[in-house]
């Protein structure tokens, strides 16, 4: 019971702001920000309607399924991405289409260089680049 109370108290932070008091909940992270060590392949050909997978290898990814990793592929945000049990591998499908904004239909992914990064509760990884050809 005491341990539960200590845990509950340690997850709360009280901040004084100009005489007012605000209360916020913060989650502790037990690790460091993720790191992408390699990206395979680093260039892909994406035919219309095709499914192309890239493999991110590194460390600090949150293991398990459903995933608790977010992968940023250019401006596209892929959430709930699973990682291997050891938190070292993420497999991502390169999107054939990307959101165009608002209610407009998605647009085909264009040829170009796209930054890839992984976000977890511990922080944001370094950036790796994948080249996409159409």
> What does the domain layout of the chain look like in residue ranges?
35-133
Backbone angles phi, psi at 10, to 5 degrees: -70, -20
Residues 37-43 have a mean pLDDT of 98
Band the pLDDT of 66: cuts 50, 70, 90.
confident
Q: Is 35 buried (19+), middle (13-18) or exposed (0-12) by CB count in 10 A?
A: middle
What is the tens place of the pLDDT at every residue in 68-121? Answer: 999 999 999 999 999 999 999 999 999 888 888 889 999 999 999 999 999 999
Domain 35-133 in CATH 1.20.140.10 = no
131 pLDDT exceeds 80?
A: yes
Higher pLDDT, 1 or 44: 44
Residue 100: which region, alpha, beta or left (left: phi > 0; alpha: psi -120 to 50)? alpha
């Amino acid at each position: 019971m005491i341990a539960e109370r200590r845990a509950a108290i340690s997850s709360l932070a009280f901040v004084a702001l100009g005489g007012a008091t605000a209360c916020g909940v913060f989650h502790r992270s037990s690790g460091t920000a993720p790191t992408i060590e390699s990206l395979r392949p680093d260039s892909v050909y994406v035919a219309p309607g095709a499914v192309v997978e890239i493999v991110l290898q590194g460390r600090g990814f949150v293991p398990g399924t459903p995933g608790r990793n977010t992968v940023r592929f250019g401006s596209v945000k892929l959430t709930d991405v699973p990682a291997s049990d050891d938190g070292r591998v993420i497999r991502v499908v390169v999107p054939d289409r990307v959101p165009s904004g608002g209610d407009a239909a998605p647009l085909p992914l264009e040829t170009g260089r796209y930054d890839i990064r992984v976000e977890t509760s511990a922080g944001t990884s370094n950036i790796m680049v994948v080249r996409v050809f159409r």
